[in-house]
Amino acid sequence: MSAAIRQVTIRGRVQGVGYRAWVEHRARAHDLEGWVRNVSDGSVEALFSGPAEIVAAMVERCRRGPSSAHVDAVTEHDAGPDALNLRRPGERFSVLPTV
């Protein structure tokens, strides 16, 4: 199984609806590394690192999100290992402050 690092931006009604907590829970349940954060423009950004098939499935889950969210669009691109440095020390997956 090959490894992948993907960064995604989720747009829609995704702040104030538990989206970050939902992402964190799902990512940890699938043993992914990375982070999630709100962005001041109303979107949510996330980074997922792990087996390519599991990362791809997580990105697909983000297209639906939690039941209280309404996702309009998800954009994604490859990211490098340096993007993982945003995590808090000692955490595999972090919820980061809004940027």
Structure tokens at 77: 């691109």
Exactly one of 20, 26, 37, 87 is catalytic; name it. 20
Q: Is 20 a catalytic residue?
A: yes
Q: Are 49 and 32 in contact (CB under 8 A)?
A: yes
> How buried is 94 (Cβ within 10 angstroms: 0-12 exposed, 13-18 middle, 19+ buried)?
buried
On whether residue 96 sits in a domain, the answer given is: no
Q: What is the pTM of this model?
A: 0.94
On whether residue 95 sits in a domain, the answer given is: no
The pLDDT, as a whole number, for residue 8 is 98
Q: Is 37 a catalytic residue?
A: no
For the chain, the domain total comes to: 1
- Domain CATH for 61: 3.30.70.100
What is the number of other CB atoms lying within 10 angstroms of the CB of residue 6? 21
On whether residue 92 sits in a domain, the answer given is: no
Exactly one of 6, 26, 37, 38 is catalytic; name it. 38
Please name every residue paired with 94 in a beta bridge, in sequence order, or none if there are none. Answer: 35
Task: Kindly report, residue by residue over 9-64, the tens digit of the pLDDT.
Answer: 999 999 999 999 999 999 999 999 999 999 999 999 999 999 999 999 999 999 99
The pLDDT, as a whole number, for residue 43 is 97
On whether residue 71 sits in a domain, the answer given is: yes
Report how far apart, in Å, the C-alpha atoms of 53 and of each of 25, 57, 98 are: 18, 6, 28
The pLDDT, as a whole number, for residue 2 is 75
Nearest to 18 by CA among 41, 40, 1, 36: 36
